[in-house]
């Protein structure tokens, strides 16, 4: 087992990475204050891992809340089911919520923990690649609004993150690829050597090679912990973790939550951010194409949905959380391995980015 730390003063916590950690009850127990535990999961993950987790929490009074699966359920109605379950089981202020699942479960369970009786503790047990490399770390919790992605939520840090890499063995390949979009993001925004490593190991990752997975998850979590430790509430550098997300969230909202996976939308959005960075003369066409090729090799879409117009993008991007005083800010690349958050671009540059022929670009590189 490998342990990393998110350094946030009194809100600091460990990230444990290893195989079969779900069975390590003694590790989890260190982070549980009271006698009550509520496991929040969904109807896909529950049959796979819920009983094992319950067994390893021997001695605690355990309630479980099994939610309907999917991004389309990341909303108020589903959140209410968590509160219903906690109240029905008479959970008090010393209860600990455990999020067992992907990013949807982690974001919702974390938000429920932030709200229930004005705040109870929670632990993340992420079971998708995306949640292991990104969403379980950093304390962004929340739900979607029909008008915008993750528009209602709270910054609320977990007590611990327990990453059992063996859970990835049951993950569908499409979901694994979606997670790779966020892994590649770290290379692009802050770690160019990692990008080179990913170019050498992307096939191994897709084949679930355990050494490669451990390396990719460890390096991704270390990057995320570093950024979050420097800027917990996104007043500066943390916004670089949003590379590709302004375009990507527009895709997710416009297509209907769940039609495009988050990682898929981030991948196409990253291509748009690369294109814009190239149009501004910050990266070369060769840099852009290098990154697009890696996304393609990861099994990710690199072309935005054909039914989305430039106006559709502008409409959804206007509610992005990085918009300040009505001004759109985007995460772009100064070079591969260095991101900036900027509003320093002309409307022409944005317009031509939205109208670029991504289909032709993808075909040429495939």
Ligand X SMILES: NC(=O)c1ccc[n+]([C@@H]2O[C@H](COP(=O)([O-])OP(=O)(O)OC[C@H]3O[C@@H](n4cnc5c(N)ncnc54)[C@H](O)[C@@H]3O)[C@@H](O)[C@H]2O)c1
**Cβ partners under 8 Å of residue 55, min gap 6:** 23, 25
What is the spatial distance between Cα 254 and Cα 258, in angstroms, rounded to a whole number? 11
Distance of CA 258 to the CA centre of its chain: 14
What is the spatial distance between Cα 256 and Cα 249, in angstroms, rounded to a whole number? 11
Q: Which of 31, 140, 219, 238 binds ligand X (CB under 6 A)?
A: 140
What is the spatial distance between Cα 319 and Cα 249, in angstroms, rounded to a whole number? 10
What does 321 interact with, of ligand LNCXM5UN, ligand X, none (CB < 5 to 8 A by kind)? Answer: ligand LNCXM5UN
- Site for ligand X contains 102 (CB under 6 A): yes
Residues at the site binding ligand LNCXM5UN, with contacts judged by CB under 6 A: 134, 138, 140, 149-150, 182, 234, 238, 241-242, 245, 321
- Site for ligand X contains 20 (CB under 6 A): no
What is the spatial distance between Cα 230 and Cα 238, in angstroms, rounded to a whole number? 8
Comparing CB distances to ligand LNCXM5UN, the nearer of 49 and 122 is 122
Residue among 122, 108, 105 nearest 33 (CA): 122
Other beta carbons within 10 angstroms of residue 70's beta carbon come to: 14
Element (H, E) at 87: helix 76-88
Does the annotation count 224 as an active-site position?
Answer: yes
Does the annotation count 214 as an active-site position?
Answer: no
31, 185, 219, 224: the active-site residue? 224
169 assigned to a ligand binding site: yes
Does the annotation count 42 as an active-site position?
Answer: no
Comparing CB distances to ligand X, the nearer of 107 and 287 is 107
What is the spatial distance between Cα 155 and Cα 139, in angstroms, rounded to a whole number? 5
What does 242 interact with, of ligand LNCXM5UN, ligand X, none (CB < 5 to 8 A by kind)? Answer: ligand LNCXM5UN
The SS3 of residue 251 is: helix
Q: Which of 36, 150, 267, 353 binds ligand X (CB under 6 A)?
A: 150
User: Strand pairing partners for 121?
Assistant: 96
What is the spatial distance between Cα 287 and Cα 293, in angstroms, rounded to a whole number? 10
Nearest approach in angstroms of CB 101 to ligand X is: 5
- Helix axes of 262-279 and 347-355: crossing angle, nearest 10 degrees: 130
Q: Which residue, judged by CB position, is nearest to ligand LNCXM5UN in the bound state?
A: 150
Q: Which residue has the tokens 């990835």?
A: 168
Cα 203-240-339 angle, rounded to 5 deg: 80
- Site for ligand X contains 353 (CB under 6 A): no
Q: Which stretch binds ligand X (CB under 6 A): 134-142, 272-280, 284-292, 313-321?
A: 134-142
Residues in contact with ligand X by the rule CB under 6 A: 42, 44-45, 48, 69, 71, 74, 101-105, 107, 127-128, 130-131, 134-135, 138, 140, 150, 167, 170-171, 175, 178, 262-263
Active site members: 118, 140, 182, 224, 234, 238, 242, 245, 249, 262
Annotated binding-site members:
69-74, 103-107, 127-128, 140, 149, 167-170, 182, 245, 262
Annotated binding-site members for NAD(+):
69-74, 103-107, 127-128, 140, 149, 167-170
């Amino acid at each position: 087992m490998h342990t990393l730390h998110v350094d946030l003063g009194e809100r600091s916590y460990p990230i444990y990475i290893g195989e079969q950690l779900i069975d390590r009850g003694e590790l989890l127990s260190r982070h549980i204050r009271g006698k009550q535990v509520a496991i929040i999961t969904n109807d896909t993950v529950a049959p796979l891992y819920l009983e094992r987790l319950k067994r390893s929490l021997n001695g605690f009074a355990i309630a479980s809340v099994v939610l309907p699966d999917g991004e389309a359920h990341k909303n108020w109605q589903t959140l209410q089911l968590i509160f219903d379950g906690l109240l029905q089981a008479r959970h008090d202020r010393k209860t600990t919520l455990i999020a067992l699942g992907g990013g949807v479960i982690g974001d919702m369970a974390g938000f429920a923990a932030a709200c229930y009786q004005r705040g109870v503790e929670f632990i993340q047990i992420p079971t998708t690649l995306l949640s292991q490399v990104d969403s379980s770390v950093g304390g962004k919790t929340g739900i979607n609004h029909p008008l915008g992605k993750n528009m209602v939520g709270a910054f609320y840090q977990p007590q611990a993150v327990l990453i059992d890499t063996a859970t990835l063995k049951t993950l569908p390949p499409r979901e694994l690829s979606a997670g790779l979009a966020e892994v590649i993001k770290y290379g692009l925004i802050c770690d160019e050597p990692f990008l080179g490593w990913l170019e050498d190991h992307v096939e191994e990752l897709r084949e679930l090679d355990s050494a490669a997975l451990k390396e990719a998850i460890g390096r991704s979590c270390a990057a995320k912990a570093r950024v979050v430790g420097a800027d917990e509430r996104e007043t500066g550098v943390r916004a670089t973790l949003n590379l590709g997300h302004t375009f990507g969230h527009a895709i997710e909202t416009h297509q209907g939550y769940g039609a495009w996976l988050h990682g898929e939308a981030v991948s196409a959005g990253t291509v748009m951010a690369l294109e814009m960075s190239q149009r501004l003369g910050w990266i070369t066409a060769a840099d852009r194409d290098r990154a697009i090729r890696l996304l393609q090799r990861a099994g990710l879409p690199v072309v935005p949905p054909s039914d989305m117009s430039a106006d559709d993008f502008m409409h959804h991007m206007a509610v992005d959380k990085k918009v300040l005083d009505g001004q759109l800010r985007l995460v772009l690349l100064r070079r591969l391995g260095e991101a900036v958050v900027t509003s320093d671009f002309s409307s022409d540059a944005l317009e031509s980015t939205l109208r670029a022929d991504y289909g032709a670009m993808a075909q040429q590189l495939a």
